[in-house]
Amino acid sequence: AKIHMHRWDVRYEFKSPDCYKKLTITINGKSPGPTILAQQGDTVIVEVTNSLDTENLAIHWHGIRQIGSPWSDGAEGVTQCPIVPGDTFNYRFVVDRPGTYMYHAHYGMQREAGLYGSIQVSLPDGEVEPFVYDYDRSIILTDWYHNSTYEQAAGLSSVNFVWVGEPHSLLIQGRGRFNCSMVTDQSVCNVTNPECSPYFLTAVPGKVYRLRIGSLTALSALSFQIEGHNMTVVEADGHYVEPFEVSNLFIYSGETYSVLVKADQDPLKNYWMTTSIVSRNSTTPPALAILNYYPNHPRKPPPTPPPVGPAWNDVAARLEQSRSVKAHHGYIHTPPPNSDRAIVMLNTQNKINGRVRWSVNNVSHDFPTTPYLISMRKNIKGVFDQKPSPDILPGYNNYNIYSVANNTNATAASSIYRLKFNSTVDVILQNANTMTKNNSETHPWHLHGHDFWVLGYGTGKFDPDEDPQKYNLVNPIMKNTAPLHPFGWTALRFVANNPGVWAFHCHIESHFYMGMGTAFEEGIEKVRKLPSKIMGCGRTRGRKLKTIVK
């Protein structure tokens, strides 16, 4: 196995990904940042220098389980203290499985300021995938706001709540197009800027392309489509999928898919690739990219209008596609037939101290200033709420998920769930009505440190007697992110076998910021000696000093 060493300098620079000039967080001058390429079993070392000058930093390796290296997970407040300006921090981890993963900032709302990129892990020499293709490409889809993350965070956390609103643009691999005619100062928005020329993928007629698509949107659920071409879904979050064909791929923030696309259409023209918003009635226009048939000019716009995405409110179509993602028949990891513990997580929107928050079982999550991994491993007392979050909301049976949430007894707390090491845990995510009448949102939930089996998706209220009978225990897909559909439920199962403390949260940046998350602790006593590089904040500071004084 090889060691891959990367040196990253992270700083703010002016960039125009959608033609509109904005302060963007870059890695070595780029956003998206460099793609990490490695082979299964390799070690990746990323030496990150925080040159943001006035801002802390942490980077998460999304989908990498960090077995034996929980301090490299990059979840600020959970596994490490933030990297302060001017400091250099080494992330070191093993990529133990092939597949498509991503990385992104995990401090405040920094992710949506541009710090993200792809991780591609290939198979060991001599092993092959259960599908064939000629070329491999990867793209990340994001949404993009012109206002700063500070402005957004201040609005979300103020008593006079200001919602972030719909994004200004969607980006395909860091490229989109804002309508500059809406901006008076043309020096701020310039459509001829090469930074915002559309992404293109050049295809040789007759060849098959593996397109690895990831989403790291701040808010939006997306549909992705290629004019005149179907896509065969073959991988999801690093696991092989029993192939199925789609004309549009629904993808939620935190998910990755590989699709196969055959360049078998009229080779005399180019084709549109587009992504558009679903699940919200958004005003944001779709993003356009070009599938370029060689030898046409890659910037030649297709002569036809871009394909229109599916209706934003067609929940049934999205639910159906979620259900279609099953493990490939040759690669089934059978889940344990029963669980040791089931946690029903009711997702609600509430007001706490006059502020709009998201809660799970009436607990809206606040991160402690001392990361859980450090306080629990080193037994530093009194840094987070010891009372565990409830496994089910008291009064859940009588809770009407279709009525406007009125959970006046919700609280903000830093409590988490402690799991018995090696136990099998079910998490049933239950959606509900928000504080707006007849409204329920899509929440993509992401688990750090594990993959979970997706046992089922349902509509309405989860029935603890009937619904588990319908769980797919035969060929459920394993994933690290799964959507919770409006007014529905999603059932997940995982084995708590990775010593550490792991974040579990909605991958929508503003929802997470408003408390929509928690963490799981398991086998903390099995975690090896923590590296001192992760310390320096909160109550870890005094301890470090003490050792030095000794």
CB atoms within 10 A of CB 508: 25
Closer by beta carbon to Cu ion, 413 or else 508: 508
Decide which of ligand C2O, Cu ion, none touches 443; Cβ closer than 5 to 8 Å per partner kind. Answer: Cu ion
Q: How far apart are CB 481 and ligand C2O at their closest, in Å?
A: 8
Q: How far apart are CB 484 and Cu ion at their closest, in Å?
A: 8
Nearest of 508, 325, 345 to residue 416 by alpha carbon: 345
Q: How far apart are CB 62 and ligand C2O at their closest, in Å?
A: 4
Beta strand pairing call for 411-413 and 363-365: parallel
Q: Work out whether the CA dihedral 251, 498, 34, 261 comes out positive or negative.
A: negative
Dist CA 350 CA 357 (whole Å) = 5
**Counting contacts by CB under 5 A, is residue 506 touching Cu ion?**
yes
Q: Where are the alpha helices (DSSP H) in 325-366?
A: none
Closer by beta carbon to Cu ion, 57 or else 506: 506
Among 443, 446, 448, 493, binds Cu ion (CB under 5 A): 443
Dist CA 72 CA 534 (whole Å) = 9
Residue type, 154: A
Quickly tell me which residue has 């229109």 as its tokens: 308
Among 511, 517, 537, 538, binds Cu ion (CB under 5 A): 511
Q: How far apart are CB 417 and ligand C2O at their closest, in Å?
A: 16
Dist CA 236 CA 258 (whole Å) = 7
Element (H, E) at 376: helix 372-377
As given in the structure block, the two tokens for residue 1 are 């196995």
163 burial class (0-12, 13-18, 19+ CB within 10 angstroms)? exposed
Q: How far apart are CB 109 and ligand C2O at their closest, in Å?
A: 12
As given in the structure block, the two tokens for residue 496 are 């708590």
Q: How far apart are CB 208 and ligand C2O at their closest, in Å?
A: 29
Decide which of ligand C2O, Cu ion, none touches 254; Cβ closer than 5 to 8 Å per partner kind. Answer: ligand C2O
Decide which of ligand C2O, Cu ion, none touches 106; Cβ closer than 5 to 8 Å per partner kind. Answer: ligand C2O
Closer by beta carbon to ligand C2O, 167 or else 254: 254
Beta strand pairing call for 208-215 and 256-262: antiparallel
Q: How far apart are CB 491 and ligand C2O at their closest, in Å?
A: 21
* Ramachandran quadrant class, 321 (left: phi over 0; alpha: psi -120 to 50; beta: rest): alpha
Decide which of ligand C2O, Cu ion, none touches 448; Cβ closer than 5 to 8 Å per partner kind. Answer: ligand C2O
Q: Work out whether the CA dihedral 105, 111, 114, 120 comes out positive or negative.
A: positive
As given in the structure block, the two tokens for residue 329 are 């028949």
Q: How far apart are CB 521 and Cu ion at their closest, in Å?
A: 23
Closer by beta carbon to Cu ion, 506 or else 527: 506
Closer by beta carbon to ligand C2O, 448 or else 539: 448
Q: How far apart are CB 119 and Cu ion at their closest, in Å?
A: 24
Decide which of ligand C2O, Cu ion, none touches 65; Cβ closer than 5 to 8 Å per partner kind. Answer: none
Decide which of ligand C2O, Cu ion, none touches 450; Cβ closer than 5 to 8 Å per partner kind. Answer: none
The CA angle 277-280-285, to the nearest 5 degrees, is: 35
Decide which of ligand C2O, Cu ion, none touches 201; Cβ closer than 5 to 8 Å per partner kind. Answer: none
Beta strand pairing call for 424-430 and 3-15: unpaired
Q: What is the DSSP string of 258-310?
A: EEEEE--S-TTS-EEEEEEEESS---PPPEEEEEEETTS-TTPPPSSPPPPPP
Among 508, 519, 530, 537, binds Cu ion (CB under 5 A): 508
Closer by beta carbon to Cu ion, 444 or else 500: 444
Beta strand pairing call for 443-447 and 481-484: antiparallel
Q: How far apart are CB 116 and ligand C2O at their closest, in Å?
A: 9
Q: Looking at the DSSP assignment, which residues form a beta bridge with residue 412? A: 364
Decide which of Cu ion, ligand C2O, none touches 508; Cβ closer than 5 to 8 Å per partner kind. Answer: Cu ion
Decide which of ligand C2O, Cu ion, none touches 511; Cβ closer than 5 to 8 Å per partner kind. Answer: Cu ion
Quickly tell me which residue has 């896509």 as its tokens: 231
In the complex, the residues that contact ligand C2O under the rule CB under 6 A are 60, 62, 75, 104, 106, 254, 446, 448, 503, 505, 507
Question: What secondary structure letter does DSSP report for 379?
Answer: T
Dist CA 315 CA 318 (whole Å) = 5
Closer by beta carbon to ligand C2O, 261 or else 373: 373
Q: Which residue is nearest to ligand C2O (CB)?
A: 62
**Counting contacts by CB under 5 A, is residue 175 touching Cu ion?**
no
Decide which of ligand C2O, Cu ion, none touches 503; Cβ closer than 5 to 8 Å per partner kind. Answer: ligand C2O
Q: Work out whether the CA dihedral 455, 460, 463, 467 comes out positive or negative.
A: negative
Q: How far apart are CB 60 and ligand C2O at their closest, in Å?
A: 5
Which range, of 108-116, 137-145, 161-169, 436-444, touches Cu ion by CB under 5 A? 436-444
341 within 8 A of 419, measured Cβ to Cβ: yes
Query: Per CB under 5 A, which of residues 460..499 are in contact with Cu ion?
Result: none
Decide which of ligand C2O, Cu ion, none touches 168; Cβ closer than 5 to 8 Å per partner kind. Answer: none
Q: How far apart are CB 310 and Cu ion at their closest, in Å?
A: 21
| CA-to-CA dists, residue 394 to 296, 361, 363, 390, 397, angstroms | 63, 8, 12, 8, 8
Closer by beta carbon to ligand C2O, 60 or else 65: 60
Closer by beta carbon to Cu ion, 263 or else 506: 506
Contact positions vs Cu ion (CB under 5 A):
443, 506, 508, 511
